[in-house]
Amino acid sequence: MPTIHISHLMKQYGSRVILRDVSLSIPKGQIYGFIGPSGAGKTTLVKMMVGMDTPDAGQLYVLGEQMPNMSVLSKIGYMAQSDALYPELSGLENIQFFTELYSLSKARQKERIAYAAELVGLSSDLQRKVSTYSGGMKRRLSLAISLVHDPEILILDEPTVGIDPKLRQIIWQELIRLKDEKQKTIIVTTHVMDEAQRCDCLAMVREGQILAEGAPDALKTSYQVETLEEIFLQTGGVHDENV
Ligand SMILES: Nc1ncnc2c1ncn2[C@@H]1O[C@H](COP(=O)(O)OP(=O)(O)O)[C@@H](O)[C@H]1O
Ligand SMILES: [Mg+2]
Measured CA to CA, the distance from residue 118 to residue 56 in angstroms comes to 41
Does residue 192 register a pLDDT over 90?
A: no
Cα-to-centroid distance, 130 and ligand 1 (Å):
27
Distance 5 CA to ligand 1 centre (A): 22
CB 59 within 8 A of CB 133: no
Alpha carbons within 13 angstroms on the beta-carbon side of residue 63 total 19
> DSSP secondary-structure letter at 58?
E
Task: Locate the ligand 1 atom nearest the alpha carbon of residue 36 and give its number.
Answer: 22
pTM over 0.95: no
CA Rg value for the chain: 18
Average pLDDT rounded to a whole number, residues 191-199: 90
Atom of ligand 1 nearest to the CA of 44: 17
Whether the CA torsion 207, 213, 216, 220 is positive or negative: it is negative
Dump pLDDT digits (tens) for 128-175.
999 999 999 999 999 999 999 999 999 999 999 888 999 899 999 999
Residues with CB under 6 A from ligand 1: 13, 18, 36, 38-44
236 in the Ramachandran plot: left (φ > 0), alpha (ψ -120 to 50) or beta? Answer: left
